[in-house]
């Protein structure tokens, strides 16, 4: 028979200093395991809780004796660090990039350590929520805490799918709206800014062993395809099909963010330019990267070329008044007056914004941007300013009964861009 009892112990009497016999504060349980051997285990200080715990132990022993085992029992006892290693291998075998695997594993590991989760039953939604709150209090943005939460939710979902746990304890934790706390807001480059950036890069010195001409090509590819940095880094001469109609550029699924083969058309003049550039470098390996930017800091390259282009633009001023106006403007600045920045990913935003300005339908812009959500295309990656809105207003029909008047160009626009 199973029973609970108070274990006899010896304590030292604080008054006399003598060792006296007493009973433990915690209730203990006595039962026979699946092998018929007597087991004695500590339970709880509350008798009712102790009896419940003992009943569970007896049921498990009876089931094991009958050959009925819980397939999740071993997984529950196993350390979470070992589960995480298995999860890393799962992500690799699924075809994810090494960067994605390492970033995801790092975020999960950081959460497990901060919350002191040792085994699967330790995982608690409230403690994960507390960890995310601590991140934000330490100065990290909502977008960063969302990345950690996504990683943890993916991990706990995998535990259930892989039959390691019965329920996903983080299923009801929701992602916060990062738009309320965006730390990095980008802006697209105007056509004039982009032209001067490419010119400054082409005529500039090598940066991180990437020549000025190669940087100019890098920026052009980013602005005319919308490809991300890693996607551009995977492009080889063989990725282009100049003989097709229209010419195309292909990124393999292993290098695409959405894990699918992406084929996009190229402008005719852009394709001609690329073809001439490749044919002029006959030493290029057809299967080697067109631009060796893996491991390079492309944001740093862009920032230096932007600064050089702005200095050259300011030096082109013909009067002191014009120089003063150009210095005050945000033309070609890394951070403009609204706090929006031009980093390398802003070139992708430039591509998508230019599609919108050209009158491309939102659905077509979403397709070329390779976004699964049209709201992301139109609300995050498309940015229209007052000048763009003014151009749209000017396209309205003329006022009735009033003679047509030619549009006037403001002199400040000619000076500041």
Q: Is 155 exposed, middle or buried (0-12, 13-18, 19+ CB in 10 A)?
A: buried
- Residues 232/224, Cβ–Cβ less than 8 Å: no
How confident is the model at residue 394, as a pLDDT? 56
- Residues 114/137, Cβ–Cβ less than 8 Å: no
Q: Is residue 410 pLDDT above 50, yes or no? A: no
Structure tokens at 384: 């229209």
CB atoms within 10 A of CB 221: 22
Distance CA 397, CA 406 (A): 13
- Residues 2/30, Cβ–Cβ less than 8 Å: yes
- For 377-387, the pLDDT digits (tens) are 665 556 555 45
Q: Is 37 exposed, middle or buried (0-12, 13-18, 19+ CB in 10 A)?
A: exposed
77-181: CATH topology is: DNA polymerase; domain 1 (1.10.150)
Q: Is residue 374 pLDDT above 90, yes or no? A: no
Query: 117: cis peptide before it, omega within 30°?
Result: no
Q: How far, in whole angstroms, is CA 176 from its chain's centroid?
A: 14
Distance CA 300, CA 372 (A): 30
Lowest-pLDDT range, 9-13, 109-113, 136-140, 203-207? Answer: 9-13
DSSP letter for 380, please.
I
- For 267-283, the pLDDT digits (tens) are 888 889 889 988 888 78
Query: What DSSP assignment string belongs to 307-355?
Result: HHHHHHHHHT-SSHHHHHHHHHS-TT-SB-TTS-B--TTHHHHHHHHHH
How confident is the model at residue 99, as a pLDDT? 83
Q: For the chain, what is the radius of gyration of the CA atoms? A: 32
User: Whole-prediction pTM value?
Assistant: 0.60
Q: Is residue 400 pLDDT above 80, yes or no? A: no
Selection from 183-192, 288-297, 311-320 with the highest mean pLDDT = 311-320
Reference 193, options 299, 334, 385, 327; nearest CA is 334
Identify the band that residue 411 occupies on the pLDDT scale cut at 50, 70 and 90.
very low
Mean pLDDT of the chain: 84
Reference 56, options 43, 68, 71, 47; nearest CA is 43
Q: What angle do CA 311, 314, 317 make, to 5 degrees?
A: 150
- CB < 8 Å & 24+ apart, contacts of 307-310: 307/334, 308/200, 308/204, 309/193, 309/196, 309/197, 309/199, 309/200, 309/201
Q: Is residue 106 pLDDT above 80, yes or no? A: yes
Q: Is residue 292 pLDDT above 80, yes or no? A: yes
Distance CA 350, CA 145 (A): 27
Distance CA 92, CA 101 (A): 7
Q: Where do the DSSP E strands lie in 108-208? A: none
Q: How far is CA 216 from CA 163, 198, 201, 221, in A?
A: 51, 5, 5, 9
Element (H, E) at 8: strand 3-12
Domain ranges, ordered by start, for the chain: 3-69, 77-181, 213-293, 306-416
**For range 69-79, the mean pLDDT:** 81
**For range 7-31, the mean pLDDT:** 86
Q: Is residue 69 pLDDT above 50, yes or no? A: yes
- For 33-65, the pLDDT digits (tens) are 888 889 899 999 999 999 999 998 888 888 877
Distance CA 180, CA 101 (A): 28
Structure tokens at 107: 């975020």
How confident is the model at residue 87, as a pLDDT? 95
Please tell me whether residue 367 adopts helix, strand or coil conformation: helix
Distance CA 36, CA 361 (A): 75
């Amino acid at each position: 028979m199973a029973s609970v009892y108070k274990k006899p112990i010896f304590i030292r009497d604080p008054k006399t200093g003598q060792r006296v016999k007493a009973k433990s504060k915690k209730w203990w349980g006595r039962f026979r395991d699946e092998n018929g051997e007597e087991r004695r285990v500590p339970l709880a200080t509350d008798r009712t809780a102790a009896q419940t715990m003992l009943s569970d132990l007896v049921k498990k022993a009876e089931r094991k004796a009958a050959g009925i085992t819980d397939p999740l029992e071993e997984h529950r006892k196993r350390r979470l660090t070992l589960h995480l290693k298995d999860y890393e291998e799962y992500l690799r075998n699924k075809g994810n990039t090494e960067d994605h695997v390492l970033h995801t594993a790092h975020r999960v590991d950081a959460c497990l350590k901060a919350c002191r989760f040792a085994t699967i039953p330790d995982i608690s939604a409230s403690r994960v929520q507390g960890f995310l709150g601590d991140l934000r209090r330490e100065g990290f943005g909502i977008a960063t805490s969302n990345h950690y939460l996504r990683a943890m939710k993916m991990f706990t979902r995998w535990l259930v799918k892989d039959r390691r746990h019965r329920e996903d304890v983080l299923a009801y934790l929701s992602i916060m709206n990062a738009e309320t706390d965006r730390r990095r807001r980008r802006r697209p480059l105007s056509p004039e800014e982009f032209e001067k950036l490419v010119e400054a890069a082409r005529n500039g010195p090598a940066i991180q062993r990437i020549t000025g001409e190669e940087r100019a090509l890098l920026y052009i590819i980013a602005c005319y395809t919308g490809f991300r940095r890693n996607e551009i880094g995977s492009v080889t001469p063989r990725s282009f099909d100049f003989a097709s109609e229209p010419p195309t550029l292909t990124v393999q699924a292993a290098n695409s963010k959405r894990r699918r083969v992406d084929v996009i058309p190229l402008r005719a003049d852009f394709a001609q330019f690329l073809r001439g550039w490749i044919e002029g470098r006959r030493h290029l390996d057809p299967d080697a990267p067109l631009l060796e930017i893996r491991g390079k800091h492309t944001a740093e390259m862009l920032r230096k070329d932007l600064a050089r282009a702005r200095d050259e633009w300011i030096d082109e001023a013909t009067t002191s008044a014009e120089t003063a106006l150009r210095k005050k403007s945000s033309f070609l600045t890394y951070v403009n007056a609204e706090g929006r920045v031009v980093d390398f990913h802003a070139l992708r935003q430039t591509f998508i914004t230019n599609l919108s300005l050209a009158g491309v339908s939102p659905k077509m812009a979403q397709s070329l941007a390779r976004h699964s959500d049209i709201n992301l295309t139109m609300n995050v990656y498309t940015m229209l300013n007052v000048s763009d809105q003014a151009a749209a207003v000017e396209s309205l029909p003329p006022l009735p009964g009033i003679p047509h008047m030619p549009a006037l160009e403001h002199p400040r626009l000619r000076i500041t861009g």
